[in-house]
Structure formats: structure tokens, C-alpha cells
């Protein structure tokens, strides 16, 4: 790898995860890089609009150029593009919000969000990043990924977001086996207290998992009695239709439906 590029990415990641502006000294300490080197990189990133410097504190934050890059990624993402109509239809059918996500490292990135049909105030979650183990989208994806990737993720850090977050690799492995058997994943207050989700995997023309689509909402609505099965059927059918749009073959769709 090219060291200068790796360090520049490290700066962006530190600024993204800090939740506040950072100065040159703090960034240098976090990265283990000399201050003059960090300062030179920051000036270059600032010139490209990827970071901005506060005039009063001289500290740095992420810049607007990253928004343009992020939007370009979303606009060119085939799963997101193909999912727009299907997600809207699922939201109308289920009466719930719908998320479409892809695996990015050990997190799920939300690439599309269809609002719940009702007129209540809702926050757009496109761009949100959720630990794979704490969301139905992540479980639906990982359950149909390679055994090697599943083992690596199960052996990594398992996030604790609420008291219901699952931190046992053995328990998660059992859940993933259940997902493979029934074709959909559940999440109950593992990422956010009071919320639940039901998601199913989406496959592409190569037979690989492209991502997942699912409904999200209050636990008392999604997981109440027979509604769980009704929503699961709707989610699986939508995932199959979306997979067909992406060119998935019948064999892969049978695998997810088995």
C-alpha cells in the first residue's frame, strides 16, 4: 500500500469518528505520525475540500467534498438504483419504513431509505452505518456470505449498542444458521431501544450477496403476533424480486428461499 494515501485515509477516519474537531497535535498522536507530515496532509486535503479548518480554533473537521463523493457513490450503486421502486412498494405494503444496506467492513451502510407511508416526521437514514451484528440487514447478508467471512466477523469485536445487543459468537452463529434456513433475519432492540427489523438477502447476477432489504420500526408493531410472518413474507418476496432485477439466477433464489 502507498503510505501517504493510507495516512490521508487515516486522518479522514479519525475526523469521522471523533465527533468533534481535531487539531494537528491530536491527529499526529492518534496516527503516530510526525506533526509536520500531518499538517502537510491536512493542507492538501483542505485544498481538495475534503477537510475544513475552523478559523477560531485552527482545528479540523470533514469537508463538503466528501458529500459529493458519497453522493456519487450512491448514484452509481446498482443495488440502490434498482431498489428504489421495490423499497417504495414494500413500504406501502408493510406500512413501515424500509432500509436497503450493503456490508462495508464490519458495518452495514444504509444506501437507501424509503419512508413509512404515514405523514409522521421521519429522519432520512441514508449513509447511516450500523454494526453488522446489531441489525437484521447485517445478519441477512453475513448468513449468505462465505464461511471464511462469517468466521472472521464472528471472531471480531461485536458491538454493544443496547442491553439487547448480542455479544456471544456462538449465539450469533446460531442465528445466522436460522437465517439460512428461513430466508430472513430478525433484530429486536439490538441497535436502538424500542426498534426492530426484518430483513432478507439480495443477490446479484454472479450469485453473490449484493446486500439486503428490510422493514424497520417499533418493536411492538413489527414483532407482534402473526404480523411477524406477514412482514417476513413481504420482505422475502421483495428481496427475490430485487434479486431478479439484479440478474440473480433461479438456483440462488431457491437457496435463499429454502
DSSP label at 59? -
- Residue extents of the structural domains in the chain: 3-63, 76-257
| CATH code reported for the domain at 3-63 | 1.10.10.10
DSSP label at 113? E
Average pLDDT, the chain: 90
Report the pLDDT averaged over residues 128-133.
92
DSSP label at 105? T
Q: Angle of helix 35-47 relative to helix 24-31, nearest 10 degrees?
A: 110
Choosing among 3.90.1520.10, 3.40.50.720, 3.40.50.620, 3.30.450.40, the CATH entry for 76-257 is 3.30.450.40
Q: Which residues are CB-contacts of 167 (< 8 A; sequence separation ≥ 6)?
A: 158, 160
- Burial class, 47, CB count within 10 angstroms (exposed 0-12 / middle 13-18 / buried 19+): exposed
pLDDT tens digit sequence for 181-212: 999 999 999 999 999 999 999 999 998 999 99
Q: What is the DSSP string of 179-225?
A: HHHHS-EEEESSSSTTEEEEEEEEE-TTSSEEEEEEEEEEHHHHTST
Confidence at residue 77, expressed as pLDDT on a 0 to 100 scale: 77
pTM: 0.79
**Residues 164-176: b if buried by 16+ CB within 10 A, e if exposed:** ebbeeeeebeebb
Task: Quote the percentage of the chain above a pLDDT of 70.
Answer: 94
Report the pLDDT averaged over residues 110-120.
86
Amino acid at each position: 500500500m502507498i503510505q501517504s494515501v493510507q495516512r490521508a485515509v487515516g486522518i479522514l477516519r479519525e475526523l469521522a469518528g471523533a465527533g468533534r474537531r481535531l487539531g494537528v497535535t491530536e491527529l499526529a498522536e492518534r496516527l503516530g505520525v510526525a506533526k509536520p507530515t500531518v499538517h502537510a496532509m491536512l493542507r492538501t486535503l483542505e485544498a481538495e475540500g475534503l477537510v475544513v479548518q475552523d478559523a477560531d480554533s485552527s482545528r479540523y473537521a470533514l469537508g463538503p467534498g466528501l458529500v459529493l463523493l458519497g453522493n456519487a457513490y450512491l448514484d452509481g450503486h446498482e443495488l440502490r438504483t434498482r431498489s428504489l421502486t421495490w423499497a417504495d412498494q414494500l413500504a406501502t405494503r408493510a406500512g413501515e419504513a424500509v432500509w436497503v444496506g450493503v456490508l462495508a467492513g464490519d458495518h452495514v451502510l444504509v444506501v437507501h431509505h424509503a419512508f413509512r407511508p404515514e405523514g409522521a416526521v421521519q429522519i432520512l437514514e441514508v449513509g447511516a452505518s450500523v454494526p453488522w451484528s446489531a441489525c437484521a440487514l447485517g445478519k441477512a447478508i453475513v448468513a449468505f456470505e462465505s464461511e471464511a467471512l462469517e468466521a472472521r466477523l464472528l471472531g471480531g469485536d461485536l458491538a454493544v449498542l443496547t442491553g439487547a445487543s448480542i455479544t456471544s459468537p456462538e449465539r450469533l452463529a446460531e442465528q445466522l444458521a436460522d437465517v439460512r434456513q428461513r430466508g430472513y433475519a430478525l433484530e429486536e432492540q439490538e441497535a436502538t431501544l424500542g426498534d426492530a427489523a426484518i430483513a432478507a438477502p439480495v443477490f446479484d447476477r454472479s450469485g453473490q450477496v449484493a446486500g439486503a432489504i428490510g422493514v424497520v420500526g417499533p418493536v411492538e408493531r413489527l414483532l407482534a403476533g402473526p404480523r411477524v410472518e406477514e412482514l417476513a413474507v413481504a420482505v422475502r418476496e421483495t428481496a427475490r424480486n430485487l434479486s431478479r432485477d439484479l440478474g440473480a439466477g433461479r438456483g440462488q433464489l431457491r437457496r435463499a428461499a429454502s
